[in-house]
Amino acid sequence: MSGVVWSVSAALFLLGLAGVALRRQLLAMFLGLELMVLTAALALGCTASLSGRGEGFVAALLVLAVAAAEAVVGLVLILRVRSSGRPAETQSLRELKG
Amino acid sequence: MSSLPPAALLLFLAPLAALAAAFFIMRPWKPQWTHVPILISCGVVTAAAAYLAAMVYTGRGADVTLYTWMFAGKWSVPFGVRIDGIGVSVLCMVALVGALIQLYSVGYMKGDPGFSRFIMLLHLFYLSMIGLLVSNNYVQFYLFWELVGACSYFLIGFWSHKEAARKAAMQAFLTLRLADFGLMLAVLLIIVQFRDTHFALFHAVRFFPSMYHPLIGLLILWAAAGKSALFPLYFWLPDAMEGPTPVSALMHAATMVTAGIFLLVRSWPLISAVPGLPGLIAVVGAVTAIFAAVLAFTQTDLKRILAYSTVSHLGLMAFAVGLGQITAAVFHLVTHGFFKATLFLCAGNIAHASGKSAVSVSEVGGLWRRMPLTFAAFAIAAFSLAGIWPCAGFFSKDAILDAAFERGGWAWAAGLAIAAASAAYIFRMLFLTFFGPRPEQSPARSLHEAPPVMAVPVAFLALGALAVGWAREDLVAMLFCGRQSAVAAPSLPELAPKVAAAGLGLAALAAGVVFALTMGAPSWDWHWRRRRPGLAAAFAGDLGWRRVVAGFVARTLRVADVVGRVWDHETWDAAIEKTATACRALSRGGSAMASGGLSESLWWLMIGAAALLAWAGLR
Amino acid sequence: MTQGALTILWLLPALGGLAALAGGRFSRWIALAVSLAALAYGFWLLGPLRTGVVAAAPQAPAWAFGIRYALFCDGLSLSLCWLTAFLTAACVVASWKKDYSAGYWAAFLFLEAALMGVFLARDLFLFFVFWESVLIPMFFIIGLWGTAGRRHAAMKFFLFTFFGSIFLLIGSVALVTLQHSATGVWTWDMAQLKGPEGRAGLMIFAAMALGFAVKVPIVPLHTWLPDAHTEAPAAGSVMLAGVLLKMGVYGFLRVLWPLFPRLSWQMLPLLGLLAGINVIYGAFCAMAQKDLKRLIAYSSVAHMGFCLLGIVSRKPEGLVGGSLQLLNHGIITGTLFLLVGFLYDRGHRRGLGDYGDLAGRAPWLTFFFGFTTLASVGLPGLNGFVGEFMSLLGMARTWSIMAVVGVAGVTLAAAYALPAFQAVFWGAPGPDSVSALVYDLDAREKGLFWVMAALMLAIGLYPGPLLRLLEPCLLGLAQ
């Protein structure tokens, strides 16, 4: 994998990670999560295009499908949290305490 | 090894049977008749003792094992009986004096709610003392030695509702226990060294020197010092006067306290083989004798005077042993038993008649008119104690003085001092109690002569105090007969007229001086107490020794408190219990980490993943 | 003596315990019948022991890793089984009037079964199983039927002794594994195991000794004892002090000495020193106590020090004397705890200053308490002296300094026992004394104590039969 692809993917990945770790709102964390997944797809696509083999594009498509499915589940969960009257923030989800 | 004479078995069986009868039959059924089987047993025992004495006198003896008491591997301890001159001579005195005192106590304790318990305890003590005298080895001797101590605890504290009696009993038992430390350790060392503890085997012990000898000798001296109230372990004896008078008479005058001297006599081969030890015993004995005699002179309670007098005479007996005159020591032991018992029982007569248990010098006076028999008995015994011819005490004390004279130097000076001091205090007691009354005294109106059941034993004992000395040749002959006495005992020293004159002269001088002091005006005895209360208090505290003892006790209790409470409970156990607190704190800390927050979990997840990746990357 | 005959000795109380659980109203009768039957059977086994040989090599099939169901019995084991059965029967008789549920009586029977198993086991794993199962009924006895602080005391007792047993397990497993790697044979049979040499042996010895030391108890691992003894019900304290403490010393005798003959002899200075510390430390702690049961508990620490002094000395007198003292101490301390239990039933207090002048109100209680106190103090003529003297003699022949310490301990015993007796029975009652509530013993209680007193006197004056029973199996351990 060329250096540019590697560094751009890593930077975007870390950005997404930072988003997950540092944001409080669930939707913002979710955005960061999606960024991390899409970075993986990006890295796969770029590598495939640079090396000229097609398996990379297939893998990137699979990743996108997984990301979509995950988005559905995640957004439904966030909506459920909202509909139970609590703000969609990490502090309000403490059932596993102790 | 001749076979056991049945009389020796009777010595044990009669008291055991009597005690069983008294405990199981008489006490539940008719407690006021508890004394009947007991007195029968006393008579049987005395007869048996006389028979055994005759047997030994004609040259026969016995050393028989009844059964093997303890054993393991190649070691064993028998339970046996030894009939020899030394044992039997003391046995006769103990049996006779004990029987007479038990007869006396029937009258003395009449009406006391604990009458039957008292009679039985006294007889149990009697049995133990007899067992001690006929034991044939050290371990069995220790058995009866401790049993005698245990009986004394219950008898001194007999009137347990009185705090002074309780404290005195506890003090006596603990002091005796402290002394028994010495005897038990000595017995253990004897077994380690010689493998066997039979008395018979020790007569040749000086041919087998060993490094344990001095230690064993010192430990035996320590044990004897406790039991026979020698300095420094004498202080339990005066306080033990809290017990009823028959107890004081039997235990603390005639029998139990002489057990220590008896131990020294039995162990003489062992002791004489250690250079310097007999000298030490003589010094301890002399110091005790003089110290106690001085204290006896300053006491105000009748029984306490006699108690200190006993301490003094025990010191005198130890002095005799230390000089090598074990025959004289045994002789004095026998005569002392008679005259001291008489003195105590006379004091008991006075106490009983006045209705109190302790009589002070201020509550008597001029009793020769009201209690003539008691006066006569007391006078005879007092003469005997002071060593005035022809009483028994003259011969025994003179034998010791002769030995001291032969030794010369400090021993002779000590002997003279003891003679003078003994005469001084006993004549003081005689004059203050029976002559007068002095103005400071107020004798009770109820004082009358004792009933026959009490007067007859006193009379017999006084007769003994007078006459026993005339049989001294036979006594000495008996000491050498019988089974090989484990001791090569010298005969009594020759009666030197110079010594006898010195002793008698001093006694008479002391009597005269004391008469002037007590009967003259102003009555000196109360006078100096009023003038110098500090000095009176010093004498009451045994010139500071009691404070030393109290300090020792307090320090031990403080150590116990520090070990038991401060260290064990508050420090060590608390530290162990802290493990429980630590565990709880750990678990609380652990559960604090599981806060249930999403962000925290994510952080842990990321950190863990990064660590794993790093580790994988590094490998 | 067949394996089956020995199995009955522990199976009978176990089945009796199950029956008592189901018995409801009759549980106490079942308990009495079973405990007396076990005692009688134990005595009957003396015949086969005398004539027959100790059980031959076990024929039972191995379960796994050489673990077998194997029992055996010699004089030492049988005498301890007698003690267990006797004290259990005494506990049942003593608790007769109490209104406890069926579980109480069952617990004692289960305890008896487990204890018998400990003393009869020949297989080390079986020994450990029984060792641990002793803790369970005892935990319930203390925790359910004890006095005020029972929960804490039960938990402390269980955890502390369990902690020690872990080391015992580790040591046993290591021992067996090492033996297997050396000889290629898996066996847990105590007669066939041999302790390895060198560092491994030392560590195994230390681990197993630690496990036994907690039970003896050896200072400083003793702090479970005062709480457990104090908070347990009277009968529970009897079993605790009378039999459970003996398990530790029995472990030393049966397991450690035969497995490590040379190493245990080399450990004599350390073990002797610890035993001496036990004697003095226990005595001083007892002197500082104001609670009767705690005082007797600490006196047990001191007495076990004497037993330990005896058996550590490895001389015939010490070994036999120490073993005899196990029996003696069981009887004496059992009686003391029963007496204190009866006193507590009447006055509901245990402090030394809570009574006073009971001699007039309860003469028989006073008599038995005084008698037993004298036995505890080691008065010759009663059984305490025989064991103590022989133990000290063994120690004197090996290491005289410790004998001096031991004799000092005998002297100190009077210093803590007699003031306690005097404070309760002779002293003047304080302002808030409960002496007025105390009445004398009834016929059942008196009968129980007459049996105990007779035993104490008989063993004290004529210990011959017991000594002959104990001697043969112990002489082999002597150095």
Q: Rounded to the nearest 5 degrees, what angle is found at the Cα of A43, between the Cα atoms of A41 and A44? A: 65
pLDDT confidence band for B41 (50 / 70 / 90): very high
C186, C65 contact by CB (below 8 A): yes
Tens-digit pLDDT profile for residues C391-414:
999 999 998 899 999 999 999 999
ipTM of the complex as predicted: 0.92
Tens-digit pLDDT profile for residues C215-230:
999 988 999 999 999 9
Distance of CA B186 to the CA centre of its chain: 19
Tens-digit pLDDT profile for residues C146-193:
988 899 999 999 999 999 999 999 999 999 999 999 888 888 888 888
Q: Are residues B347 and B326 in the same domain?
A: yes
pLDDT confidence band for B470 (50 / 70 / 90): confident
B155 closest CA partner among B254, B240, B224: B240
User: How far apart are the C-alpha atoms of C147 and C437, rounded to whole Å?
Assistant: 19
Q: Are residues B493 and B570 in the same domain?
A: no
**Amino acid A1: pLDDT:** 54
Q: Are residues B439 and B554 in the same domain?
A: no
Q: Are residues B46 and B152 in the same domain?
A: yes
**B591 and chain A in contact, CB less than 8 A:** yes
Q: What is the CATH number of domain A3-87?
A: 1.10.287.3510
Tens-digit pLDDT profile for residues B199-251:
888 777 777 777 888 899 999 999 999 999 888 888 899 999 988 999 989 88
**Amino acid B1: pLDDT:** 42
Chains contacting chain C through 3 or more C-beta pairs under 8 A: B
User: How far apart are the C-alpha atoms of B159 and B168, rounded to whole Å?
Assistant: 11
What three-state secondary structure class fits C406?
A: helix
The yes-or-no verdict on residue C125 having pLDDT over 90 is: yes
Q: Using CB atoms, pick whichever of A20, A24, A97 lies closest to residue B596.
A: A97
User: How far apart are the C-alpha atoms of B148 and B158, rounded to whole Å?
Assistant: 15
pLDDT confidence band for B593 (50 / 70 / 90): confident
Q: Using CB atoms, pick whichever of C320, C393, C463 lies closest to residue B191.
A: C393
The yes-or-no verdict on residue B97 having pLDDT over 80 is: yes
Q: Are residues B474 and B574 in the same domain?
A: no
**Amino acid A98: pLDDT:** 65
- Bridge partners (DSSP) listed for residue B83: B62
pLDDT confidence band for A52 (50 / 70 / 90): confident
**B596 and chain A in contact, CB less than 8 A:** yes
CB under 8 Å to C361, separation ≥6 — which residues?
C435, C436, C438, C439, C440
Question: Do the chains contact at A96 and B596, CB–CB below 8 Å?
Answer: yes
Whether C and A touch, i.e. at least 3 CB pairs below 8 A, reads as no
User: How far apart are the C-alpha atoms of B412 and B404, rounded to whole Å?
Assistant: 5
pLDDT confidence band for A36 (50 / 70 / 90): very high
pLDDT confidence band for B288 (50 / 70 / 90): very high
Locate the chain C residue with the closest alpha carbon to B114. C360
Q: Are residues B609 and B461 in the same domain?
A: no
CA distance B174 to chain C (A): 7
CA dihedral of residues B79, B81, B86, B87 (deg, nearest 10): 90
> What range defines the domain where residue B29 resides?
6-540
Locate the chain B residue with the closest alpha carbon to A94. B596
pLDDT confidence band for B69 (50 / 70 / 90): very high
User: How far apart are the C-alpha atoms of B585 and B339, rounded to whole Å?
Assistant: 77
Residues of C in contact with B143 (CB under 8 A): 380-381, 385
Residues of B in contact with C464 (CB under 8 A): 67-69, 71
When pLDDT is averaged across residues B257-273 and rounded to a whole number, the result is 88
- pLDDT, greater one: C66 or A73: A73
Question: Do the chains contact at A21 and B599, CB–CB below 8 Å?
Answer: yes
**Amino acid A68: pLDDT:** 95
SS (H, E, C) A22-62: HCCEHHHHHHHHHHHHHHHHHHHHHHHHHHCCCHHHHHHHH
- Bridge partners (DSSP) listed for residue B79: B67
C4, C69 contact by CB (below 8 A): no
Residue type, C303: H
Q: Which of B521, B540, B559 is at the close of a domain?
A: B540
Q: Are residues B64 and B152 in the same domain?
A: yes
The number of folded domains in chain B is 2
**Amino acid C129: pLDDT:** 95
Identify the weakest region by mean pLDDT among B276-280, B468-472, C89-93: B468-472
Greatest mean pLDDT range, A89-98, B480-489, B598-607, C445-454: C445-454
**Amino acid C57: pLDDT:** 55
User: How far apart are the C-alpha atoms of C452 and C457, rounded to whole Å?
Assistant: 9
The yes-or-no verdict on residue C52 having pLDDT over 60 is: no
> What single string gives the DSSP state of each residue in B346-385?
HHHHHHHHHT-S--BGGG---TTTT-HHHHHHHHHHHHHH
Question: Do the chains contact at C379 and B189, CB–CB below 8 Å?
Answer: no
CA distance B600 to chain A (A): 9
**Amino acid C198: pLDDT:** 86
**Amino acid C327: pLDDT:** 96
Q: How far apart are the first and last CA of chain B?
A: 92
Mutation target vs B (from C163, C314, C467; most B CBs, 10 A cutoff): C467
**C223 and chain B in contact, CB less than 8 A:** yes
- pLDDT, greater one: B120 or B207: B120
Q: Are residues B491 and B531 in the same domain?
A: yes
**Amino acid B58: pLDDT:** 83
pLDDT confidence band for B490 (50 / 70 / 90): low
Q: Using CB atoms, pick whichever of B68, B147, B189 lies closest to residue C379.
A: B147
C298 closest CA partner among C213, C210, C222: C222
User: How far apart are the C-alpha atoms of B1 and A51, rounded to whole Å?
Assistant: 120
Mutation target vs B (from C393, C398, C401, C440; most B CBs, 10 A cutoff): C393
Q: Is residue B354 part of a domain?
A: yes
* Percentage of chain C modeled with pLDDT above 70: 98
Identify the weakest region by mean pLDDT among B118-127, B490-499, C80-89: B490-499
Question: Do the chains contact at B170 and C418, CB–CB below 8 Å?
Answer: yes
Q: Using CB atoms, pick whichever of B591, B597, B606 lies closest to residue A90.
A: B597
**Amino acid B144: pLDDT:** 94
**Amino acid B489: pLDDT:** 58
**Amino acid C139: pLDDT:** 95
- Residue for token pair 């005896």: C310
- Mean pLDDT rounded to a whole number for chain B: 86
Give the helix/strand (H/E) hosting B466. Answer: helix B452-467
Mutation target vs B (from C422, C446, C462; most B CBs, 10 A cutoff): C422
Question: Do the chains contact at B166 and C410, CB–CB below 8 Å?
Answer: no
Q: How many CB atoms lie within 10 A of CB C470?
A: 25
The A-side interface with B (CB below 8 A) comprises 17, 20-21, 24, 90-91, 93-98
Residues of B in contact with A97 (CB under 8 A): 594-597
The yes-or-no verdict on residue B42 having pLDDT over 60 is: yes
All structural domains of chain A with their residue ranges = 3-87
Q: Using CB atoms, pick whichever of A90, A95, A98 lies closest to residue B599.
A: A90
CA distance B24 to chain C (A): 13
Question: Do the chains contact at A94 and B595, CB–CB below 8 Å?
Answer: yes
pLDDT confidence band for B608 (50 / 70 / 90): very high
Q: Is residue B1 part of a domain?
A: no
Tens-digit pLDDT profile for residues C5-19:
888 899 999 999 999
Residues of B in contact with A17 (CB under 8 A): 606
Q: Are residues B201 and B273 in the same domain?
A: yes
Q: Where does residue B7 fall: left (phi above 0), alpha (psi -120 to 50 degrees), or beta otherwise?
A: alpha
